[in-house]
Chain A
Amino acid sequence: MLKKTLFAVLVLVTNTAFAEEAIIEGNVQSKCVINIDTNGVYGNPTPDKLSTDSADGGVQPSIRYDVALADYYIARIITPTSFSTSPTLSDVVNWTGTSSVGEVSDAGMSAYDVSKVVYDSTTEFDLTVAGSTWFSVTSEATYGYGKAFPGGTYRAVVIAECIAK
């Protein structure tokens, strides 16, 4: 009996289990991520018009802003006022553009459209709710007074900014 007990004690002593804790740490800090979900394409519904509107055969750029914490950032979207690439143009190009809220990850973000600030070609949205907001951008360019755009490649740049408050 003593032999058995001693053997059991030895087994227990030599097989001591050492447990270590694996610690997982996380830190949620304010940050803004700009995601370009769709780059956008100009449609050419009439000879004098280029438009990203789907009704005009274009594709609207879609920009997603992800903010980790509420009320830390302002989204600023600037629609184009000139082409970055185009054939030589001899007449004036008239530009219009709008930015509006598309999809939202939180119902509270729907109010962004009401409280947005618009000046020149810039639209500012105060990102007061944490989560993802998709913004749709329309851009339209008309050439001269009913003049046809010359053939070639046209490209204009939308600037999506995320500014810390």
Chain B
Amino acid sequence: MVLVKLYATLRGFTGEKEISMKADTVEDVFSSLVSSYGEDFQKKLESATVLVNGQNIAHLKGRKTRLQDGDTVSLFPPLGGG
């Protein structure tokens, strides 16, 4: 089981902070979320940054990144800070 954490407007969209799910890859997480929250959410996911245990999947294997039990997958829309 992995823990998927949602942040910023992604939270508002889904009404969830955290979702536990079975997933072997990041792609599985995406499929699961899209089937729960629909096409509009899919559009938001396209520009979202995905971290696995704090690391950007762009430095791992992208959506093919394999997940292990206990991993945390964090999803952020494009943010501004200061």
Are these two chains actual partners, yes or no? no
